[in-house]
């Protein structure tokens, strides 16, 4: 009996020991399983899309398409992902960048290191107000509708059309506050009017005056007046032979001080037409008998710069280096320019004929204040208009669209100074 109980006791001890050993192995297995889960989680690599953020747009799109699901890892938007437009001006204003149609939707967790997409910047720039366009031309023009008719002022951008008065050869003062002109209706003479059409007054009383031109300081006006010479045709006969001599009126330059009324005449030839005062006040250019002439204000020195008797209406460039003028071709007018020393003569216009084959004209040039452009009269469209071109004759085009359609313009071929341009 004792032996039997001893055997049973030994069996129970062995059983308990086996049970204890099995429990230890189970606990070890559970603990081992828990130890391996944590490093497995931390060892998960970042999504493939994150690794591809430095690649070009096409590569990033392909990679995004290959991902089956978005991960819980926050995403970083690459600066090269221009295909993903953002709804807001900057990426920081939204929880996360908006996904494209080819990319899986990221989680709502904001990425602290995300950078703004270039498309968002482009949207912000496009939202800025557009700057106001700079007008192609600046300043203000005065022009006559015809010789002795109404003249108007207008801004170079086409605004502010305004009738001033009537007369011949209107021209701006250097500061743009007054306009000088001549008048061949009573009371005749040289006149000045304010730029707004107020306070018109006569500064010189004479029956036939033309082509006023201001001194650089605005105190004195140069002009030409008819004085002496042969005014009518005259028939001369010698024995049985008779012939007719045409009129030969003399036109003399004069200077009138607009403040004190003093007048003087410089030494000059008998014919000084369309005189214009140089910007530096030292010289005048004019239409002489055989071409354009330049002489000093005191009349002591003069020289010829063109050799064609058909040249007329000369006007100085603002820098005093060039002279633009009108030349009569055999049946029409064109605009030319020449250096003040007579060199570099250049034809600026080659006006196309009208559709019916009749010649068209370009005449009466006027320099822009900066000397970069020249406005002129032309009838190439079938009616007289004001056109403009670069100083070298390129890019000829109408200066105004429809602003002057109600005003019939006319160049009467009397060497009129029909346009003047000021700042």
Quick check: is 342 in a domain?
A: yes
Q: Total structural domains in the chain?
A: 1
With 80 as the cut, is the pLDDT of residue 121 above it? no
Q: Is the pLDDT of residue 23 over 70?
A: no
Residue 187: partners with Cβ closer than 8 Å, 6 or more residues away: 202, 205
Q: Considering the domain boundaries, does residue 40 fall inside one?
A: no
Residue 243: pLDDT band (50, 70, 90) is: confident
pLDDT of the residue at 49: 35
| pLDDT the model gives residue 339 | 98
Confidence of residue 239 (pLDDT cuts 50, 70, 90): confident
CATH code: domain of residue 415: 2.120.10.30
pLDDT at res. 103: 41
180 is a domain residue = yes
Nearest-Å Rg of the Cα atoms of the chain is 46
Average pLDDT of the chain, as a whole number: 79
Out of 61-70, 112-121, 303-312, which region has the weakest mean confidence (pLDDT)? 61-70
- Mean pLDDT across the stretch 60-69? 36
Q: Does residue 41 surpass a pLDDT of 60? A: no
Is residue 374 scored above 50 in pLDDT? Answer: yes
User: Mean of the pLDDT values across residues 79-98?
Assistant: 38
Residue 5 has what pLDDT?
59
Q: Greater confidence, 296 or 136?
A: 296
Q: Is residue 20 part of a domain?
A: no
For residue 53, what pLDDT band results from cuts at 50, 70 and 90?
Answer: very low
Across 282-289, average pLDDT: 97
- Say if 199 falls within a structural domain: yes
**Is pLDDT at 370 greater than 80 in this prediction?**
yes
Residue 108: pLDDT band with limits 50, 70, 90:
very low
- The residue range of the domain holding 172 is 140-422
* pLDDT at site 17: 55
Confidence check: pLDDT of 395 > 50: yes
Asked if residue 401 belongs to a domain, the reply is yes
Question: At residue 13, does pLDDT exceed 60?
Answer: no
> Quick check: pTM over 0.85?
no
Residue 72 lies in a domain: no
**Does residue 33 sit within a domain?**
no
Q: Is the pLDDT of residue 389 over 80?
A: yes
């Amino acid at each position: 009996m004792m032996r039997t109980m001893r055997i049973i006791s030994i069996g129970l001890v062995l059983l308990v020991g086996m049970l204890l050993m099995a429990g230890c192995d189970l606990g070890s297995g559970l603990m081992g399983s828990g130890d391996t889960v944590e490093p497995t989680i931390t060892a998960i690599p970042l999504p493939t899309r994150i690794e591809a953020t430095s690649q070009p747009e096409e590569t990033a799109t392909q990679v995004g398409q290959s991902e089956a699901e978005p991960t819980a890892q926050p995403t970083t938007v690459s600066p090269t992902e221009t295909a993903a437009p953002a709804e807001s001006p900057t990426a920081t204003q939204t929880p996360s960048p908006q996904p494209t149609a080819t990319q899986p939707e990221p989680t709502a967790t904001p990425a602290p290191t995300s950078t703004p997409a270039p498309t968002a910047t482009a949207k912000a720039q496009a939202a800025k107000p557009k700057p106001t366009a700079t007008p192609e031309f600046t300043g203000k023009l005065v022009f006559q509708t015809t010789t002795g008719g109404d003249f108007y002022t207008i801004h170079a951008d086409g605004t502010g059309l305004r009738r001033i008065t009537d007369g011949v050869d209107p021209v701006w003062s250097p500061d743009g506050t007054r306009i000088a002109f001549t008048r061949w209706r009573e009371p005749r003479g040289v006149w000045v009017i304010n730029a707004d059409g107020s306070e018109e007054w006569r500064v010189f009383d004479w029956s036939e005056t033309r082509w006023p031109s201001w001194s650089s300081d605005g105190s004195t006006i140069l002009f030409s007046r008819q004085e002496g010479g042969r005014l009518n045709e005259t028939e001369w006969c010698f024995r049985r032979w008779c012939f007719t001599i045409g009129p030969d009126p003399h036109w003399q330059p004069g200077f009138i001080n607009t403040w004190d009324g003093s007048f003087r005449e410089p030494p000059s030839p008998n014919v000084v037409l369309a005189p214009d005062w140089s910007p530096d006040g030292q010289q005048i250019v004019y239409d002489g008998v055989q071409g354009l002439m330049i002489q000093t204000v005191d009349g002591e020195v003069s020289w010829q710069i063109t050799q064609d008797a058909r040249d007329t209406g000369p006007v100085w460039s603002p820098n005093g280096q060039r002279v633009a003028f009108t030349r009569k071709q055999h049946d029409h007018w064109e605009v030319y320019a020449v250096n003040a020393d007579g060199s570099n003569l250049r034809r600026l216009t080659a006006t196309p004929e009208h559709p019916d084959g009749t010649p068209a004209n370009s005449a009466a040039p006027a320099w822009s204040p900066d000397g970069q452009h020249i406005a002129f009269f032309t009838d190439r469209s079938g009616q007289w208009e004001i056109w403009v071109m670069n100083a070298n004759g390129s890019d000829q085009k109408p200066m105004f669209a429809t602003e002057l359609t109600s005003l019939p313009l006319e160049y009467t071929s009397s060497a009129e100074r029909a346009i003047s341009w000021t700042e």
